[in-house]
Amino acid sequence: MAIERTIFGSIEGQPVHRYRLGNEAGLAASVIDYGATLTELHTPDRRGRVADIVLGFDRIEDYRSSDAYMGAICGRYGNRIKEGRFSLDGRPYQLSLNEGRNHAHGGRKGFDKQIWKTQAGADGRTLIFTHRSPDGDEGYPGNLDLRVVFQLTDANELRIDMSATTDKPTIVNLVHHSYFNLAGHGSGDVLRQELKIAAEGYTPVDGELIPTGEILPVKGTAFDFSTFKPTGRDIDRVPYPFGHAANAGGYDHNLVLSGLSSAMRPVLQARDPLTGRAFDLETTEPGLQFYTGAELNDAVPGKSGARYGRFGGFALETQKYPNSPNVPSFPQPRLDPGETYRHRMVFRFYTV
């Protein structure tokens, strides 16, 4: 099945392309080279009816103006770094500040806002995105060469492989930032959709959503997804510290995943009782940022005019923990010359 390429839009005269992947079972995905962004993911329900289950936009202008990172690859450092500061080998670095006084998702012009080079695989199921981030980009040291591979398999898997190399010690924590709604994008909130997450701990946050450095057990808390439960069942019990400046409510926290870090392992199951759509997620990463979209804004129409309001989708960002460069006890994101950063996610879709 050949990969279809079309023009999605343009930025300052440079075309942005959309690539469509499909398999024999009816799964279809679209990815654009702006931000290596997953814009569509069509899957059947238990009756065979197909719907697009990721949030997004129809126009490149809306992706450029949005601060929701919908479907994008974020980095160099996905998630937050306190005051944009960290040190390597005793040398301090100051990153750009794009979330109040903190650095988030790679800065003002992170990887989500770059046009990546794209190569279609000969198998018709694979897309290879590459990008070079120069030394000093948003304050990060070292030239960083990136490679992100999307593959749609006949086993109904969407595989996302992220890798990077550097010529100078640096930090790397790439994340994929799709928002999922298993009933179909624009179908309302996701509070009745159910998750099961293999996590024994979570990292509590301060008023700016920066981890305090603690790891607390999830048992008996709103973060306990050890058995299937609706995302909204305990959402009103999610703790936020006094003075939290954002639209407090819902989940926007890092969960400490069970199992050996860096080993590929199953970490999450998601299902929608109404439609029967479901998926499993495997990853190599130690953490998962679980965000239920409390700050999604319906002022800008999504695809086909859909309105994505509060809790209109959930994001599942496998990752190193937020602010880990400044917390020695957290898994570290350091990358040295001669090493290769590797991060894999596998979504396996089915119905129940």
Residues 52-87 pLDDT 10s: 999 999 999 999 999 999 999 999 999 999 999 999
**Structure confidence by residue, pLDDT tens digits, 218-242:** 999 999 999 999 999 999 999 877 5
User: Catalytic pick from 105, 177, 185, 253?
Assistant: 177
Per the DSSP assignment, residues forming a β-bridge with 160 are 150, 345
Percent of the chain with pLDDT over 70: 97
With 80 as the cut, is the pLDDT of residue 178 above it? Answer: yes
Residue with tokens 């909130």: 189
SS3 326: helix
- pLDDT value, residue 246: 46
Strand partners, 167: none
The answer to whether residues 173 and 324 touch, using CB atoms and an 8 Å cutoff, is yes
Confidence of residue 248 (pLDDT cuts 50, 70, 90): low
Of 194, 208, 285, 317, the catalytic one is 317
Helices in the chain by DSSP H: which ranges? Answer: 60-65
Instruction: List residues bridging with 161 in a β-sheet.
Output: 149, 344
Report the C-alpha gap between 297 and 312 in whole angstroms: 9
Q: Quick one: what percent of the chain has pLDDT higher than 90?
A: 89
177 is a catalytic site residue: yes
For residue 325, the SS3 value is helix
Confidence of residue 247 (pLDDT cuts 50, 70, 90): very low
282 is annotated as an active-site residue:
no
| pTM over 0.75, yes/no | yes
Measured CA to CA, the distance from residue 124 to residue 291 in angstroms comes to: 33
Q: Is the pLDDT of residue 44 over 90?
A: yes
pLDDT of residue 242: 56
Q: Kindly indicate whether the domain formed by 4-351 is annotated with CATH number 1.10.150.120.
A: no
Do 79 and 91 form a contact (C-beta atoms < 8 A)? no
Least confident of 187-201, 268-282, 298-312: 298-312
Q: Is the pLDDT of residue 320 over 50?
A: yes
Domain edges within the chain: 4-351
For the record, the structure tokens of 185 come out as 């994008």
Give residue-wise pLDDT tens across range 139-174. Answer: 999 999 999 999 999 999 999 999 999 999 999 999
Tokens of 161: 């492989």
pLDDT beyond 70 at 332 = yes
Q: What is the DSSP string of 208-264?
A: TS-B-S--EE-TTSTT--SS-EETTTTGGG----TT--S---S-EEEEEE-S-TTS-
For the cut 60, the answer to whether the pLDDT of residue 243 exceeds it is no
